[in-house]
A and B are shown apart, each in its own frame.
Chain A
Amino acid sequence: MSTQSIPPSTRAVRAIEEASIAPAPSPLKVVLRVASTVWSNGKARIGIIILGLMILIAVFAPLLAPYGARQNGFDRSADASAAHWLGTTAAGEDVLSQLIWGAQISIFVGLVAGLLSTVIAVLVGLSWGYVRGFGADVINFIVNLFLVIPGLPLMIVIAAYLSGGGIGMIIVVVVITGWAWGARVLRSQTQSLRSRDFVTAAVFSGERPFRIVFREILPNMTSLIVGNFFGAATAAILAEAGLEYLGLGDTTVVSWGTMLFWAQNSNALLTGQWALLFAPGLCIALLATSLTLINFGVDGISNPRLREGSKR
């Protein structure tokens, strides 16, 4: 087998000793290269730093927060002071501590729900884009169904139905209502990539459809998928805050959304407690912004030429 399948006319290579043949580059190197690409973009670096800080704050909340999240008994609705930098809530809790503890929920929900809806969008979108015929029509029908149902009412209905489920319930609701749009975007990109010569060439190389979709087509959509992830995470963070603000989540959990819910309930704006409303709102906005900034750097992954251009 081996002697037959190796054709003639190779002078130089025969001379190469087996030992000198180095193995192919490892996947770890590829990941490092991708990471340095994203980092080399100024905007993305700012985004990563902000996101990193927020994650650190969330992780080390027990050390950073001056008080417990639900620890009350302080002066009610107090203004900012040395003891309470951002004042206290109407229930007599420390706002700064709540803000720090609340980061845990918002970031967790954002990342997990974003990841789950992206995974579903990738699986559905890519296979939908590559297959033709009846299978594609079936997927088309299901995705369209999820796209035409208005998101917020559906979210509220599902949340009300699953009431009392806590964070897990919120993640499920966000994922169910959030994957369809990403699937459609990825499907159209798959369809345009499918007709490229290098995909036809992969067929000629004897590749199976599964491998063509996930090794040839998918890497070319990295920026779109990562972009979709950050978009979905942003939407999840906003949806989580929205649902909790409406009181549909577990209102005893401290998150930025429930902080807004309680601030609204206690008419914080009328009593001049701006920090109670603005601090969680700003945090949500900042988190969403950091994710968007990272997306700028992600663009360089799919397009090597863009990357070299940025170095010049």
Chain B
Amino acid sequence: MTALLEITDLSVDYGEGAGSTHAVNHVSFTLQHGEFVGLVGESGSGKSTLGFAVTGLSKPPAHVVGGSILLDGVDIASLSSADLREQRHGGIAMVLQSGMNALNPVRSIRNHFVDIFRAHGHIDRADWNSRAEELVAKVELPSSVLDRYPGELSGGMRQRVSIALALSLEPKLMVFDEPTTALDVLVQHAVMDTIIELQKKENFTALLISHDLGIVLESAQRVLVMHEGEIVEDAPSRQILESPRDDYTKMLLSHYADPRADVVELPGFEKRVASVSSRTRQKDQKAIVVDHVSKVYPAPRRGEPQVTAVDDVSFTLEPGQSLALVGASGSGKSTLAKLITAVEKPSAGSVRFGDLDVGSLRRGQFRQLHRDVQMVFQDPYAALNPLHTVEYTLTRPVVNFTGLKGLDARRRVLELLDTVGLSPVEEFAAKLPHQLSGGQRQRVVIARALASNPQVIIADEPVSMLDVSLRAGVLALLEDLREQWGVSLLYITHDLLSARVVTDNIMVLNGGRVVERGNTAEVLRNPSDEYTIRLLDAIPNPGRRDVA
């Protein structure tokens, strides 16, 4: 049997001439019929560029500069765009990361199917409806979704619809480019299950592109590991898991661990057991007391019920303590962070920081609170003003909160950069955000939060936008700061593994209510609430396929 897809010596460049970037560098691999292959790499590794090249969707400035892509013996790179469109039927289909946003909001789901059927004419007009119903059933959706509009469906449902649309042309090869990255943890788990089931039933060849080795290992039979434009390892999943050969693969694997284990080890967090180490305390450190707080938002539309984001939550963040707030999206954990930082006001109950009643602060009084309570944002790409240098960004809180000026302020800024590990400090101070990597940006964001010498840091998913290899570094930094400065940490996340390594205590939120709380290691090892168990089960587990 010949291979379905044969890629030989493929290179893709961005731009031309001396300034071009080699995104994909002399890559060769083959896909057999009916195989499920994963393609793993961190951002910038060229995995998506490769995916687009395989499907013939490369857009300028990306262009194929060498090698061949043979699908059933036909070179895709040499096809004209008209031939390429013909080939889409029974050829290659692609599901995008933002596939759920690829639906036209003013056309019903049925119309999306009809558009494809009409364009390719491979199905009789009389069978359009039954075929569309059959397709949505394959992705485990009821046929009633056909009459809905994209805006009425959830993210997971929309991603399922785009998978069904891709299936409608009976492709031999399906390329999934980060199909679940934009989805909530629990939904992500369910959609991946559908994809795995579907591949077994329909027996198409699947190429799953992902940054998450865990997801790939639990679904794919064979894994390609990509690093800086080259495929560094190509081996069956079990072999990658048990005896990885390449150093890069080993490094990626080292960042996975089971949060339920007795001892969790990550690079930078060796031998962390469930114990509260004695930490240096700052003088006069105050606790955050959240007392029976609720937050109700008005109904999104007339006639619909109000939205209760946070429902009667009470807890105390003691000085020097680290508390994890976990839950899936919509569980109210970010709303709770907004209430604590006075961005939103509670509908009932009170939030107190020392003597300060946070809920009753007016805009002009925010400085009182923000001197001691600072925040690290989720998206380091959005949290820095793109037009200000690192120095300006850090100087402002220094000037506003410590009253230092001129050279004193500048020395403090350089100290902060050193504290977060960005050296040479002078060089980093002069940089603009777009000249920094995601991990470096997040360090700048953390440095800014430290500028006022705060007592409490609220970190809202600080590593969820970062590559796996950078996560441990940022987490280790947060942990160091806590140990050295005695800062209390409220760590908001859906990632239980990171919660396990940086926090002492944990609170699990579901639908705005606290469903479980206690010592982090104990809760994760012996979860009692069903929701906590579901969250734990949704974590990609490299060994899951073997068990199943």
B385 touches A216 (CB 8 A): yes
In the complex, what residue of chain B is closest to A200 when comparing beta carbons? B343
In the complex, what residue of chain B is closest to A305 when comparing beta carbons? B434
In the complex, what residue of chain A is closest to B402 when comparing beta carbons? A5
Does B363 touch A at the CB level, under 8 Å?
yes
A198 touches B384 (CB 8 A): yes
Quick check: which of A201-209, A239-247, A270-278 contacts chain B, the rest being far away? A201-209
B419 touches A10 (CB 8 A): yes
Q: Evaluate whether A6 and B412 lie within 8 angstroms (CB atoms) in the complex, with A25-B389, A304-B386, A312-B61 already known.
A: yes
What's the least CB distance linking B442 to chain A, in Å? 12
Does A12 touch B at the CB level, under 8 Å?
yes
Contact string against A for B residues 395-417, beta-carbon threshold 8 Å, 1 for contact and 0 otherwise: 11100111110011011101100
Q: Evaluate whether A21 and B411 lie within 8 angstroms (CB atoms) in the complex, with A5-B402, A198-B382, A312-B15 already known.
A: yes
In the complex, what residue of chain A is closest to B480 when comparing beta carbons? A9
A201 touches B448 (CB 8 A): yes
- Tell me the chain A residues, 113-135 only, with Cβ under 8 Å from chain B: none
- Chain A residues near B403: list those with CB within 8 A: 1, 5
- Chain A residues near B298: list those with CB within 8 A: none
Tell me the bound Cα distance from A305 to B387 in angstroms.
Answer: 11
B397 touches A206 (CB 8 A): yes
A304 touches B432 (CB 8 A): yes
- Chain B residues near A198: list those with CB within 8 A: 382-386
Does B445 touch A at the CB level, under 8 Å?
yes
Q: Evaluate whether A13 and B448 lie within 8 angstroms (CB atoms) in the complex, with A198-B385, A204-B374, A206-B371 already known.
A: no
- Chain B residues near A302: list those with CB within 8 A: 387
Q: Evaluate whether A204 and B418 lie within 8 angstroms (CB atoms) in the complex, with A21-B411, A24-B391 already known.
A: no
Q: Evaluate whether A202 and B396 lie within 8 angstroms (CB atoms) in the complex, with A7-B453, A25-B430, A197-B377 already known.
A: yes
Q: Which of A7, A21, A202 contacts B410 (CB 8 A)?
A: A21
Tell me the bound Cα distance from A207 to B370 in angstroms.
Answer: 11
B418 touches A13 (CB 8 A): yes
Tell me the bound Cα distance from A5 to B453 in angstroms.
Answer: 7
- Chain A residues near B410: list those with CB within 8 A: 21, 23-24
Does A16 touch B at the CB level, under 8 Å?
yes
In the complex, what residue of chain B is closest to A303 when comparing beta carbons? B386
What's the least CB distance linking A159 to chain B, in Å? 40
A206 touches B426 (CB 8 A): no
What's the least CB distance linking B285 to chain A, in Å? 14
* Supplied contacts A219-B388, A305-B434, 15 more A-B pairs, CB within 8 Å: A6-B412, A12-B423, A12-B425, A13-B415, A23-B410, A24-B391, A201-B377, A203-B366, A203-B370, A204-B375, A204-B397, A205-B400, A206-B366, A206-B397, A312-B15
A interface residues (Cβ-Cβ under 8 A, vs B): 1-2, 5-13, 16, 18, 21-25, 196-198, 200-207, 209, 216, 219-220, 302-305, 308, 311-312
Which 4 residue pairs spanning A and B have beta carbons closest together? A206-B400, A205-B397, A197-B383, A197-B382
